[in-house]
């Protein structure tokens, strides 16, 4: 494990060699049970339960205090009532713990008394040179080596988090846990790290982003934030991260009423939204307004985190190949809203479509409506039109609108995958039709690196994300 030794403070959270769980219990109704049960299942390092009322927890000898532990753990996870937390943090400091993750709630988010407790424990931690994560959060997940800290019991969860390149950061605890469960169980994306920063009394979004910007497996990051604590430093971290990987942000608290809601939720000020907005745009960050959108960008980038090859610096010209004329029309509106344009296909492209794909009576244009051609020539019309359209230098991205039915079994996925690899242009697919074939379609497209969404709005958003990031990287490369 020598080469895996923690090197910087946040490593003790994400890659600890040993973990103490303060509040561990065999009582399955409690979060302290979930935390230790999840850990024992997947975490490869040492695990010590701490609870003065127990001799052992789940077969592991239990200690009455962190101070009694045989070694100083890299990480202590704390899930006990708020009033007891400062004392536990003091114990951690005395025992030489490197990092403390407080998952308990009842701090700044519940008023003055809680805020005082929070300030007290931060002071203790800082005085001892320990970093403190939380409170009021579900903690974090690392996919390799496996670490899964949330206080909900999810049997086999550590094993089910497939290592990938996406990092997810959320300010809200429950939310992040809900997300991880919902999307990870569904295999929506593969993650490098996922975490909830809660009240961020010490470790905040800037620390985490700074860490992720240098994290080797992480190639894309999506953040849900209710506030930005250190504006200037955050902007620097975002800029640095965005030079290496796509960054997408859902920043809540855009309206006055939601800013008030954020204050009562995590005890933090939402900040001046216009300033945040401008700064994020300047840094090249993608901004969205709903969780589903954030997750969609996460999925798109987890499938293809690299910038695509653009014909021009402006690269925003999209071709649409569709079996539904109506879908093409609605998508055109949505593309325009995100600043993308329908590509003007070259005369030679149109001529090839006319000769090789379309029925005699039909003139091709963009969106390329291939339904009559599919009726006449079968699915070869799809493969051929993809090849023709992708080779048009005036096309930066391609949106596919196919129909899911039992025909999915015969879709030319492998051939399309080869065409995609050859051109390296951004490709996103919608799926509609018979839901029974969605999953099969989805999986087959995933294998060739194409994200699939059941909503056109999300397709337009993902394409925007891909081309936006491709332009950003190209500018960075050209200007240095």
Q: How far is the CB of 413 from a copy of itself (least distance, A)?
A: 20
| Binding segment toward a copy of itself, per CB under 8 A, in 53-61, 127-135, 333-341, 412-420 | 333-341
Give CA 450 to chain center in angstroms.
17
Examine residue 272 and tell whether it contacts a copy of itself (CB under 8 A). Answer: no
Check binding of 224 to a copy of itself (CB under 8 A): yes
Using the rule CB under 8 A, is 290 a contact of a copy of itself? yes
**Does 170 contact a copy of itself by CB under 8 A?**
yes
Candidates 13-21, 381-389, 414-422, 451-459: pick the segment binding a copy of itself (CB under 8 A). Answer: 451-459
Distance, CA of 379 to CA of 185 (rounded, Å): 33
Q: Which is nearer to a copy of itself, 96 or 432 (CB)?
A: 432
By CB under 8 A, the residues from 408 to 447 that bind a copy of itself are: 432-436
Contact map string, positions 183 to 212, toward a copy of itself, x by CB under 8 A:
--xx--------------------------
Q: Tell me which residues in 340-359 interact with a copy of itself (CB under 8 A).
A: 341-342
Mode of pairing for the β-strands spanning 46-50 and 131-133 = unpaired
Regarding 376 and contact with a copy of itself (CB under 8 A), the answer is no
By CB under 8 A, which span of 5-13, 181-189, 213-221, 305-313 interacts with a copy of itself? 181-189
Distance from C-alpha of 176 to C-alpha of 167, rounded to nearest angstrom: 12
Total of residues contacting a copy of itself (CB under 8 A) = 80
End-to-end CA distance of the chain: 37
Identify which of residues 19 and 176 has a Cβ nearer to a copy of itself in the complex: 176
Q: Interface with a copy of itself includes 268 (CB under 8 A)?
A: no
CA angle 179, 180, 183 (to 5 degrees): 75
Smallest distance from a copy of itself to CB 3, Å: 36
Choose the binding region for a copy of itself from 94-102, 206-214, 246-254, 347-355 (rule: CB under 8 A): 246-254
- Residue 134 touching a copy of itself (CB under 8 A): no
263 or 476: whose CB is closer to a copy of itself? 263
Q: Binding a copy of itself by CB under 8 A: which of 4, 56, 214, 333?
A: 333
Q: How far is the CB of 225 from a copy of itself (least distance, A)?
A: 10
């Amino acid at each position: 494990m020598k080469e895996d030794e923690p090197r910087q403070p946040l490593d003790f959270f994400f890659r600890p060699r040993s973990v103490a769980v303060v509040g561990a219990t065999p009582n399955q109704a409690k979060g302290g049970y979930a935390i230790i049960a999840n850990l024992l299942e997947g975490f490869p390092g040492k695990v010590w339960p701490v609870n003065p009322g127990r001799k052992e927890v789940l077969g592991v000898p239990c200690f009455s205090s962190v101070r009694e532990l045989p070694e100083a753990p890299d990480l202590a996870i704390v899930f006990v009532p708020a009033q007891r937390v400062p004392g536990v943090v003091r114990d951690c400091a005395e025992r030489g713990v490197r990092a403390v993750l407080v998952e308990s709630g009842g701090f700044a988010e519940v008023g003055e008394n809680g805020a005082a407790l929070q300030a007290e424990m931060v002071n203790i931690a800082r005085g001892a040179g320990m970093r403190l994560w939380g409170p009021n959060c579900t903690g974090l997940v690392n996919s390799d080596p496996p670490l899964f800290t949330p206080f909900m019991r999810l049997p086999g969860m550590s094993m089910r988090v497939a290592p990938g390149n996406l990092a997810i950061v959320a300010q809200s605890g429950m939310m992040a846990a809900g997300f991880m469960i919902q999307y990870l169980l569904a295999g929506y994306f593969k993650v490098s790290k996922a975490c909830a920063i809660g009240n961020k009394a010490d470790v905040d979004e800037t620390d985490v982003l700074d860490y992720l910007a240098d994290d080797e497996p992480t190639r894309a990051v999506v953040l849900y934030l209710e506030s930005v604590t250190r504006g200037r430093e955050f902007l620097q971290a975002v800029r640095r991260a965005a030079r290496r990987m796509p960054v997408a942000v859902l920043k809540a608290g855009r309206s006055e009423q939601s800013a008030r809601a954020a204050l009562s939720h995590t005890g933090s000020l939402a900040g001046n939204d216009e300033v945040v907005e401008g700064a994020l745009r300047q840094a090249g960050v993608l901004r969205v307004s709903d969780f589903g959108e954030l997750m969609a960008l996460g999925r798109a980038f987890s499938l293809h985190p690299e910038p695509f090859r653009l014909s021009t610096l402006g690269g925003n010209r999209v071709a649409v190949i569709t079996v539904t004329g109506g879908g093409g029309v609605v998508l055109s509106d949505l593309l325009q809203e995100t600043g993308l344009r329908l590509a003007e296909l070259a005369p030679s492209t149109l001529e090839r479509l006319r000769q090789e794909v379309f029925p005699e009576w039909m003139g091709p244009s963009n969106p390329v409506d291939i339904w009559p051609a599919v009726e006449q020539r079968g699915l070869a019309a799809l493969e051929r039109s993809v090849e023709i359209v992708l080779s048009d230098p005036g096309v930066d991205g391609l949106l596919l609108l196919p129909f899911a039915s039992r025909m999915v079994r015969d879709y030319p996925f492998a051939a399309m995958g080869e065409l995609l690899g050859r051109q390296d242009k951004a490709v996103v697919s919608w799926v509609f039709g018979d839901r029974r074939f969605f999953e099969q379609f989805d999986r087959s497209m995933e294998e060739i690196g194409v994200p699939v969404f059941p909503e056109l709005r999300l397709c337009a958003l993902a394409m925007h994300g891909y081309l936006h990031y491709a332009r950003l990287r190209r500018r960075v490369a050209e200007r240095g």
